[in-house]
Structure 1
Amino acid sequence: MSGTLFIITAPSGAGKTTLVRSLLRRDHQVRLSISYTTRVPRAGERDGGDYHFVDVQTFKALRDAGEFLEWAEVHGNYYATSKVWIKEQIEKDHDILLEIDWQGAQQVRKVFPQAVGVFIMPPSMEELENRLVGRGTDSESTIARRMLGARSEMRHVGEFDYVIINNELHVALDDLVSVVRASRLRYTKQRARHPGYFDYLEQD
């Protein structure tokens, strides 16, 4: 396998979705893994584009059939990642990006220990609350629940390879692009992509 699997994790409101979309526009070698979820679509979200939206019964049937690489229940909704699709893409030397929570990241590492983990953090808890309120998509009770869970989520930041504090979007995006491009230059990846070249160098 020569493609790289990137795991992007962040508490809700840290700017993960905006950063990921900006990265995909800037670097066309990265492909986004479309997760399955039982969550109700938000305004403007497309089935098969933002998520594969399914009901709980369908989700559990797919899970029990072994279709998922990881799955988790977050804020009362189920989320999961397709295992077969990711393996196929990585074997084709495609870089894949996963947007998942820390629980899912732990499960993914058991199958893909070489995955590169990136944790996106807000500049402060106060700013996180301001962003959640400002986007106008969640109720007061939902925002309160997300704030309570954010600190618990961020305590797992030490499990990730890179940490980006999203204070200014353009700086955070440059940091994320740098992580992706540097990861492609690791010896193991270059060795897998150019085996003939390295085999020649190693000959007596």
Structure 2
Amino acid sequence: MNPFPVVLSAPSGGGKTTVTKLLMGRRAGLGYSVSCTTRMPRPGEVDGVDYHFLTDEEFLERHDKGEFAESALVHGKRYGTLKSSVQAVLDAGHHVMMDIDVQGAAQFAAAYPHAVLVFLLPPSVDVLVERLMARQTEDRQALLTRLKSAHMELHEVDRYHYVVVNDELEAAVERVGAIIDAEERKRERVRGLDAQLAGLIGRLEQEIQSFTKP
């Protein structure tokens, strides 16, 4: 089976990071591409684990060198995924799990056409607002900015291959896992399938000939 990137997008508070982390902890054959960002770390976040935290100057230098598979300016902060991080996971034979916004997902899909794009929908606006407020990391103006971004992002859902409603966390994790299972079984992803089919067809032709001999 040929490994492929799995991109999870959602409005802020939609649960894409949580779902990604739970899948990573429960499922073999997955690797995580740690994104870069210029925003400040949130409580509990570790540099190099949750994100590569860069200054604006460091980020732009890497961008100008063409090191990013995708990059975007979100809520005034820069985010990006390094090509080298993605390729390292694929070369190890693992699917690449990524949680990125809709801007980055569009760029990434252009660079990696075999990527699987999954959008996590909140069950309601009330739940989305509740999740954002529970973070207690942003003021009212910042929350308004994120809600406006969510409004824009929901108009981009038709770019995605799958939609999962994150109404219950465990169920959402299972649904995304089922998507990965299904994608692994797609004909074009099965390694060596053409040779296997050719062998089966050739052997059947031999059997048919043996039955038609007098």
TM-score norm. by structure 2 comes to: 0.89
1:161 partner letter: H
Structure 2: which amino acid aligns with 1:153? Answer: E
What amino acid maps onto 1:122 in structure 2? P
Shift of 1:202: 4.6
The code of the aligned residue for 2:186 comes to R
Q: Which runs of 5+ in 1 are unaligned?
A: none
* Aligned residue number for residue 7 of structure 2: 7
- 1:171 matched residue in structure 2: 171
Query: Which consecutive segments of 4 or more residues in structure 1 shift more than 3 A?
Result: 193-199
Hey, what's the Cα distance between the residues in 2 that align with 1:91 and 1:131? 36
Structure 1 pair 94–202 and aligned structure 2 pair: CA distance change class (3 A): farther
Question: What TM-score do the two structures reach when normalised by structure 1?
Answer: 0.93
Q: Secondary structure at 1:59's aligned position in 2?
A: helix
Amino acid in the other structure paired with 1:26: R
SS of residue paired to 1:127: helix
**Equivalent residue runs for 1:59-138 within 5 Å:** 59-138=59-138
Question: Which sections of structure 2, spanning at least 5 residues, go unmatched?
Answer: 206-214
Q: How far 1:148 sits from its partner (Å)?
A: 1.5
Counterpart code for 2:169:
L
Q: Deviations over 1:144-169 (max 9, x none)?
A: 11112111111101110000111111
Identical aligned pairs, as a percentage? Answer: 35
Structure 1 residue aligned with 2:143:
143
Shift of 1:90: 2.1
CA RMSD of the aligned region, Å?
1.7
Residue pair 1:2, 1:193 contacting (<8 A) in 2 also: no
Deviation at 1:64, TM superposition (A): 0.6
> Which residue number in structure 1 is paired with residue 200 of structure 2?
201
1:145 maps to a residue whose letter is T
Q: Is the 8 A contact 2:164 2:172 kept in 1?
A: yes
2:172 is paired with a residue of what secondary structure?
helix
Cα deviation, 1:48-87, whole Å, max 9, x if unaligned, reads 0000001000101111111111111000000111113323
Partner of 2:14, secondary structure, is coil
Matched position secondary structure for 1:117:
strand
Secondary structure at the aligned position of 1:119 is classed as: strand
User: SS of 2:70's equivalent?
Assistant: strand
Between Structure 1 and Structure 2, how many residues are aligned? 203
- Are residues 162 and 133 of structure 1, via their aligned partners in 2, closer, same or farther at CA, if it must alter by over 3 Å? same
Q: Which moved more, 1:160-169 or 1:194-203?
A: 194-203
Pair member with larger Rg: 2
Question: For 2:127 and 2:106, how far apart are their aligned partners in 1?
Answer: 27
